[in-house]
Amino acid sequence: MLGFLAPMIIYFVKKNTEPFTRYHAAQALNQQLTLMIHFVAVLAVSIPFAIALDTPAPLALLIVPYLEALIGQWVFIILGAVKAGKGQYVRFPAFFCLRMVR
The dihedrals phi and psi of 80, each to the nearest 5 degrees, come to -65, -40
Residue-wise burial string across 42-64, b where 16 or more C-beta atoms lie within 10 A, e elsewhere: beeebeeeeeeeeeeebeeeeee
Look over the chain and give the mean of its residue pLDDT values, rounded to a whole number: 88
Q: How far is CA 45 from CA 13, 48, 54, 80, 102, in A?
A: 36, 6, 15, 31, 29
Q: pTM of the full predicted structure?
A: 0.83
Q: CB–CB of 30/92 below 8 Å?
A: yes
Residues in the chain: 102
Q: CB–CB of 41/59 below 8 Å?
A: no
pLDDT at 44: 93
pLDDT at 1: 64
